[in-house]
Structure formats: C-alpha cells, structure tokens
Chain A
Amino acid sequence: MATRIHPLLILMTIVVYIFLIGPLIIIFGASVSDTTFLAFPPQGLTLHWFENIWEISAFRRTIVTSFQVALLGTAMALLIGIPAAYALNRHRIQLPGWLSTLFVLPILIPEIVIGFSLLRSINVGLGVPVFFALLIGHTLLVLPYVIRVISASLASFDFSIEEAAISLGSRPVKTFFTIVLPNVRSGILAAFILAFITSINDVSVSLFLTGPGISTLPIQILAHVEQFFDPTIASVSVLLMMLTIIVMIIVERTLGLTAVTK
C-alpha cells in the first residue's frame, strides 16, 4: 500500500507556498495595474510604471549607482577575499582556529551597527567622498560571504595538486593562477552572485553612507515610498527580482546550480 501523505502536511505546504509566492504575485500584479495607487488584483494592464522608473531621474541615477557599487564592491571583496580564503585554508594547520572565525564575524554584527561605525570612521572621520565610502561599506559588507563561500570551495581542494605543479617547475604565483583558481571557479562564481545580490539589496549599511546626490536603489525606494504610493515601487521591485532570476538562470545554464550550492 502506498503511503498516504497526511492532509495536514499538504495544507502546511500550501500555506508555506502562499506565504512565499503570494507577495511576489501581488507585487507583479500591482506593477502592471493601470491605477495611480498600488492595486491588486490589477485593474487594466499597462507598462507605464516600468517606463516611469526611467522617467524619474532619481531612480535612473540610483540604479546606475547601485550597479556600480555592487560590481566594484564585489570585485574588491573578491580581490581581498580570494587570497585571504586561500591563505586561511592553505595554512589551516599552522594558523589558530579563531582566525577564520574572525573573518566571518561581521556576519554576526548587525549591519546597522556596521553602517553607523563606518559613517563615523570613514565618512565623517576621514572625510572620504560619499561614493567611495559607499564602496568601502559594501566591500566590507560582502567580504565575509566571499571568504565563507570560497573557503568552503577550497576546503575540498587538495593542496598536494599545487605542490605537484610546483615540483614540475611552475612558480608558486603562477601555480595559483593556473592550477588553484581554475579548480575553485564555481566557488568564486557562487561568491560573486551571493555578494552581488547582497550588495544590490542592502539597506542598512547604505542608509548611513549615502549622501547628497548619491544614493542606492533600495534607499531611493524607501525615499519614494515616503512620498508616493504609486505602482512604480512595484515595478522597481519586479525589476530587481527579474535581475536576480536572470543571474540565477545564467549560472544554471553555464555551470548548473549544483556547482554553486556544492
């Protein structure tokens, strides 16, 4: 006899799905609604609110800023994080155990605290321009994730492979690029995606570091909501979601998500 699934379990599953997917459907519906307020179910169909994103210059500017900060911040975090993760794993036996914990500690600190302390130290304290302060903030925000993910990938890397290459005459630095990096490619890609998405969605750190004329998209969304309640917000949210989905699809196509979650 086949095992019957308990009806309560089915019900629970449905409820969970409604909670997960429900908001997405509502936002998607609201974004194409031909009304001047957020409405669900949508009344009439229009792409006007998507066009409106580009017409509001603040959205245009912050989308560009968000992308710049996310790309550059992620790149910088990779530049610092890859060698750090490499060193932590390569010399794991010689290094004290708390050192790798130290690198992921920022995950435990509330982001709002990081944002505030960065504001005090680099923005006010050192007088660093807003954009660079934002960049530094996002780099620090995503660095722990980068180190975490790449460390996980390096943990299964057999360092005797590196020694084999060196014994065959390859210099250590060259070996790092030709032998180590190609074998942690999927980890680097996973770190990139995670860092990029974290950065582009961040509110807490950016809240403190944005300044006159320079802001990120999530902060602009907040500012917009304070004054207006039109479906532009919904269309921006859909745009952000689409972006994340597109990134995931590209990864799925090129590497397979299993390679990333591995």
Chain B
Amino acid sequence: MTLPLSIDQITAHYGTTKVLEDLSLTVGDGELVSLLGASGCGKTTTLRLVAGFLQPTSGAIRLGDKDLTRLPAHGRDIGLVFQNYALFPHLSVKNNVAFGLKQRKLASGERDKRALEMLDRVGLAHLADRLPGELSGGQKQRVALARALVIEPPLLMFDEPLSNLDAKLRVDMRVEIRQLQRANGTTALYVTHDQEEAFSISDRVAIMNSGRIMQLDTPETLYQRPANKFVAHFVGFENLIDLQVTARDGEMVHAQTHDGGKITLSQERLGAIPDAFVLATRPDGLVVTNDASATGLPATLGMRTYLGRAYQYQCQTGAGQLIANGSLATPFESGAQVTLVPNPDQCAILQPE
C-alpha cells in the first residue's frame, strides 16, 4: 500500500527564526519528488516535519487521508534513509533490517525471513551476520535502504543519501534506489543539493531557496522553462538581461536594453513575449560574432578561459557583465569589440521581478 503525501502551507521555526514559510507540496501516489537547493535552505527541516521530529508552527501534513500533523514520529510509518546511514552499530545487519518488523510484533522466524529476503534484493544477503562497522559506505547505505523498505512504508524519505559516497558509486546507487522505488511503487520524497542527481532520479523536482519552493516541475520544464530568475540562474541561465519591446512584426519581436542594445527574437521558439521581460540565456545561448551587421548586444571581451569544448568569455556590455561561449575555431582576443547574438534554443523568457 502506498499513499500520496500532501504538505499544506507549512511554516516552521527553530526558536524564533523562521526556517520554512508557507510551504506547500504534493507528492503523488508512487511518485518521486526531490527537494533541491543549497545547504541551509530548509530541505532537511521539511523532511523532519514530515517524519514528525519537528512540529510546524502552522499548516498540515497529510498522507492519503490520514492527518499526520499531530501524530508522534513513531506512529507515522515512514521509511527514512539518512546521509550518514544511521545504522544501529550494536546490531547485526540482519537485525538492523529486522528492527522495524520487531516493532510491528512479528514473530522472530518471520522477521528473519523477510529481513533476509530484503537483504537479498539489495544484494547483501551474504553479509547478514556482519556488524555495520565492517561494511563499506555503499553497503551501509544498501542496508539502510533495506531497513526502510522492509516495513513496506507508504512513504519513503531520503536525506542526501548519496552524499557520503564516491562519485561512481553515487551514480550506481541512485539508479538502484530509483529501480527499487519504482518496483515497489512507493511514494518518495528525496532531498539532495546535487542538481544532476535530482534531475536524473525524480519525476518532479522542487527547487528551494531560503525556506520556500521557487518552482516545482518536471526536470525538463525546470531546465527549459524556469519560472523565475532564481530558478533560471540555478539551472544554468547565467545571463539575465532586462529588455523592453520596441516593435512587433508578426512573430518577430524587437527589443532593447536600457542603454540601447538591440535584440530580435522570434515568438515561435520562445512563446509569447510580454512588453517588459527578462531574457535568460546560458553561456552557450549567446553567440559571439564580429560580423558588424548582426543585431545584438555590443560587447568588449574580457578574460578568456578554455573549457575543452569551447572558449568562455567574460563580456562587458551596457547591460552588465555577461558570460558567453565562443567556438574553438574562431578564438577572439581579450579586448576585442564584438556583438552577442542570442540563440533561442538556449534562452528563456521571464517576467521582470
């Protein structure tokens, strides 16, 4: 059995400091949603509220149609996986996994049988009698995963479960976590500060900033259609240019920066463009050219760095400092006067804030 999670307008404080403000979030039945954001933005706090280790100042948390808000943590029936594994150091691997079943008063034979089955699913049945201290990081996290899954919780929560593992293992483990979660169809809330990890593992991702969700969407939407400057910058749209429409010509829109830099964009590619807007571009989304007839932002090139697949330039423009990538075939020298032309494939249109 698995249930949808809904967090409804939660506000939370540590002492008098507000850490979460009016946070709402739903995770559909069997869906995996990630909370993604920099350290200190409130991801762990959100999980602790759902787990019941922290009480919200206001708001409600529901699992299916059960109201969790006032339920004690030990009665919530949620599988938790922590960054530092949190295995019981004095219990064998098998007894670690069987712990939750013991709390559910299962007979010891049945407990062992299920624990061993679950250990087999994570490929660790042969280590059942070891102590956690004798396992590698990856093995510990598999045991933690087995321990959380064996109680067949309606909701699984992960708090940066892969942060202590090395890069190669992180990729393997996230695939494994995703497969187990899919196979069981368990609703899951997953916390990470690693964008690639969040995007690869999730059905939807909530990008958080100082206690609020800035945007909750599929990875594709977040990556291509960020809703605001924060998310745009977070997913790599490093240039945010304020523009004003000066003329419209069918689908073609002519706009200019406050200092007169001109840009032409097509609504066919970018969707409707309001009169005042912000053009967000990735470094790859600004083409560097010395073709004097091109329509774009005039710029003076600053420092050039070599990225392997391209050169990256710091560009001084009337609209501020911008970052653009130029082809390896035509390198420009620092100090060159060029024009930056936006490439609509790497651009997004935002409302001004």
- Chain A interface (Cβ < 8 Å from any Cβ of B): 94, 158, 160-161, 163-172, 175, 179, 182-183
Chain B contact residue count (CB 8 A cutoff): 26
Please provide the chain B residues from 121 to 167 with a CB less than 8 Å away from any CB of chain A in the complex. Answer: 144, 147, 151
B7 contact set on A, CB distance < 8 A: none
Q: Are A168 and B89 interface neighbours, CB within 8 A?
A: no
CA distance A170 to B98 in the complex (A): 12
Contact partner of B90 among A166, A167, A168, A183, CB < 8 A? A183
A-facing mask of B68-87, CB < 8 A → 1, else 0?
A: 00000111111110101011
Q: Are A169 and B151 interface neighbours, CB within 8 A?
A: yes
Q: Which listed segment binds A: B20-28, B99-107, B266-274?
A: B99-107
Q: Is B311 an interface residue (CB 8 A)?
A: no
A183 contact set on B, CB distance < 8 A: 88-90
CA distance A163 to B74 in the complex (A): 9
User: Which partner residue on chain B sits nearest A171 by CB separation?
Assistant: B74
A166 contact set on B, CB distance < 8 A: 53, 73-74
Contact partner of A172 among B74, B79, B87, CB < 8 A? B74
Q: Is B15 an interface residue (CB 8 A)?
A: yes
Q: Are A167 and B76 interface neighbours, CB within 8 A?
A: yes
CB distance from B161 to the nearest CB of A (A): 12
Q: Are B86 and A170 interface neighbours, CB within 8 A?
A: no
Q: Are B84 and A167 interface neighbours, CB within 8 A?
A: no
Contact partner of A164 among B15, B76, B86, CB < 8 A? B86
Q: Are B82 and A169 interface neighbours, CB within 8 A?
A: no
Q: Is B51 an interface residue (CB 8 A)?
A: yes
CB distance from A162 to the nearest CB of B (A): 9
B75 contact set on A, CB distance < 8 A: 169
Extra 15 A-B pairs, beta carbons < 8 Å, given A158-B84, A160-B84, A164-B144: A161-B86, A161-B89, A163-B53, A163-B86, A164-B80, A165-B99, A166-B73, A166-B74, A167-B73, A168-B151, A169-B77, A170-B74, A170-B103, A172-B73, A172-B74
CA distance A151 to B84 in the complex (A): 21
CA distance A171 to B90 in the complex (A): 19
User: Which partner residue on chain B sits nearest A161 by CB separation?
Assistant: B86
B78 contact set on A, CB distance < 8 A: 167
